[in-house]
Structure 1
Amino acid sequence: MMTTKDFEAKQIIFIFLQPKEIISFQNDNILIKTADRKIKYQITCYRIFALFVVGHFVLTSGLIQRSHKFGFPIFLMTNGFKLYESFGGHMEGNILLRKHQYEYQGLELGKHILMNKVKCQRENLNLQRDKSEELKKAIAALDRYIKEIEYYQGNLEGLLGLEGSAARIYFKQEFNNVQWGGRKPRIKNDYINSTLDIGYTVLFNFMDALLRIYGFDTYCGVLHRQFYMRKSLVCDVMEPFRAIVDHQIRKSINLQQCAEEDFQLVDHRYLLKWKENQKYIQFLMKGILQYKMDIFVYVQQFYRAFMKQKDAKDYPVFEMIK
């Protein structure tokens, strides 16, 4: 399995293909060539952790072969960052791990994950310099929700209800630097919700790639219950790290890197303009990669704790410290 030292040298590569550009190979290097066949970008396969291809292109057997040979997953995305296919870069045959997954019952691990998530949201709010009375009340409310989740003894629906209530308080203050109607997943009714969806999609696929390294069944969750074609475990494990995306978007709004004019309104949905894709991926990945090693170590420790069937209190905790 991949070690911390191995992962440190790896890169997450996004390729935005323009019309008539192609992906080709030379020795063990991936080359991106322009329409006139000049080399636009080149990277060795040894350094790729995950490869994201945005836009339309011709898939060759060489790309698939190198994905399997060097152990990196390939994610194919539309121009709107919707994932439509992924392959490669996963371990097969970790039967004991999957046996533990299928046998797991209870809410303790789910509670542990949600407490970690709300603590990270609290830390995000605490990072704001101007502490208004409303912000202080929101931080105090999140503290109460952390305690409620910790001692909660009800069913899954009630637990998710606590998390949802905490989220409504959090988002109102996290984006108090703009006029905003609140978080509405996947509806894309404004540019902030649309940007959050993009950031969470990138984080989701990064986490999916990490979980595949260890052979998890990513469709079998411990908090999000099984649902047809939903990678519930990825949804679970990424929860504490969503705050990274939130914080980066708030900063990018303040720096005027993220703005409403970067989007076009199509059927009442805010969709990012193609020419802005690379800029948005750059600032969103900047936030995620700042915690690259923290995320890797978290997943590594999560795997070890799961294999040893430890108590929830012995699972890893992510902290927003940077």
Structure 2
Amino acid sequence: MISKPEFESKQIVFVLLNEGEKIAFSNDNIIVKDKDGKIRHQSTCYRLFMLCLIGNISITNAVFKAARKFCFLIVLMSSSMKTYEMLGGRMEGNVILRRKQYAYSGLELAKHLLKNKVENSRQLLMAERNKSEDVKLSIARLDEFVTRIRSYTGELSGLLGLEGLSAREYFKCYYRDIEWKGRKPRIKCDFINSTLDIGYTILFNYIDALLNAFGFDTYCGVLHREFYMRKSLVCDLVEPFRSLIDMQVRKSVNLKQCQPEDFTNRNGAFLLKWENNGKYIGFLMQPILQKKVEIFMYVQSYYRAFMKGKKAEEFPVFVVR
């Protein structure tokens, strides 16, 4: 199982692939060659944690063997940066952990994760320099949601309802100075929603890779319960960290790094142009890389708390800064 000192030296690599390019393994290195056979990218397997390949590519058998041997994950993504497969190194056979996952049925961990998410949303609003009355009102309402979540004793569906209401309150306030139609996941009705989707996907893949490194069944969650082919536990542990992407997207819009012209509008959906993928990965990865070790430590602490059967209040908390 990976330790903090080992993880600190690991890399997350994104490769944007052009037509005819191939990926191969040679001398403990992953190599990307263009259609003429020239080396375009090279990474040592000893430092890889996650290799994200965007676009169509030809992969040799040796690459999959290398991923297993050196325990790094290969994430295959479409040109629109939607993940369609994850291959390679995983921590397998952690039977005790998975038995504990399958035996858990309470709501306390779900409340803990959701409370952490809402508190971070509140923190972003608190960081506003000039707080209007609308901002102050939204902060007060988020405080109420935290209190309601903490004391909640009903069914899971009601808890998810509180999550939706708190998110609506937060989003309408946080992006109030930008052209904003409200948060509409996966619909991509404007460039901000589309950018948020891309950022959350990158974050999702990173959390997924970390959970696999500890041997979790990523389909077995505590807030998002079992649903066919949904990685519910990854959805759970993404929640406290969504604020990192929210903060970066607003910053990038204000800095004109993120603009409507970077997208094509196809049947009402804003789709990022291929030539802009590198730029968007660059700025959306910034907060994740800045907090890379902190996120790792969170997942490690979550694993240890789960294995020891600790109370929900003893599980880790991520505080956005």
Shorter chain as denominator, the TM-score bin is over 0.9
**1:89, 1:209 within 8 Å by CA — same for their partners in 2?**
no
Pairing 1:239–2:239 present: yes
**2:262, 2:273 within 8 Å by CA — same for their partners in 1?**
yes
- Equivalence for 2:16: 16
Consecutive unaligned residues in structure 1, runs of 5 or more: none
Cα shift at 1:38: 2.4
- Equivalence for 1:92: 92
Q: Deviations over 1:6-28 (max 9, x none)?
A: 11100100010112222223201
Task: Measure, in 2, the Cα distance between the counterparts of 1:216 and 1:264.
Answer: 38
Pairing 1:319–2:319 present: yes
**2:77, 2:84 within 8 Å by CA — same for their partners in 1?**
yes
Task: Measure, in 2, the Cα distance between the counterparts of 1:280 and 1:114.
Answer: 28
- Equivalence for 1:177: 177
Matched residue count: 321
- Equivalence for 1:103: 103
Pairing 1:274–2:278 present: no
- 3-state DSSP class of the match of 2:96? helix
- Equivalence for 1:251: 251
Consecutive unaligned residues in structure 2, runs of 5 or more: none
Task: Measure, in 2, the Cα distance between the counterparts of 1:22 and 1:228.
Answer: 33
Pairing 1:217–2:217 present: yes
Cα shift at 1:267: 1.8
Cα shift at 1:73: 0.8
Task: Measure, in 1, the Cα distance between the counterparts of 2:225 and 2:303.
Answer: 19
- Equivalence for 1:78: 78
Once the two structures are overlaid, the 10-residue window that deviates more, 125-134 or 55-64, is 125-134
- 3-state DSSP class of the match of 1:74? strand
Percent identical pairs in the alignment equals 56
Task: Measure, in 2, the Cα distance between the counterparts of 1:145 and 1:89.
Answer: 40
- Equivalent positions of 1:104-253 (< 5 A) are 104-253=104-253
Q: What amino acid is aligned across from residue 122 of structure 1 in structure 2?
A: R
Q: What amino acid is aligned across from residue 163 of structure 1 in structure 2?
A: E
- Equivalent positions of 1:5-44 (< 5 A) are 5-44=5-44
- 3-state DSSP class of the match of 1:216? coil
**2:21, 2:58 within 8 Å by CA — same for their partners in 1?**
no
Cα shift at 1:34: 2.5
Once the two structures are overlaid, the 10-residue window that deviates more, 35-44 or 267-276, is 35-44
Q: What amino acid is aligned across from residue 191 of structure 1 in structure 2?
A: F
Task: Measure, in 1, the Cα distance between the counterparts of 2:40 and 2:189.
Answer: 36
Task: Measure, in 1, the Cα distance between the counterparts of 2:185 and 2:172.
Answer: 15
Cα shift at 1:289: 1.0
Pairing 1:262–2:241 present: no
Task: Measure, in 1, the Cα distance between the counterparts of 2:251 and 2:123.
Answer: 15
**1:17, 1:57 within 8 Å by CA — same for their partners in 2?**
yes
Task: Measure, in 2, the Cα distance between the counterparts of 1:259 and 1:129.
Answer: 24
- 3-state DSSP class of the match of 1:41? strand
**2:114, 2:163 within 8 Å by CA — same for their partners in 1?**
yes
Task: Measure, in 2, the Cα distance between the counterparts of 1:263 and 1:94.
Answer: 43
Q: Return the TM-score normalized by structure 2.
A: 0.98
Cα shift at 1:173: 1.4
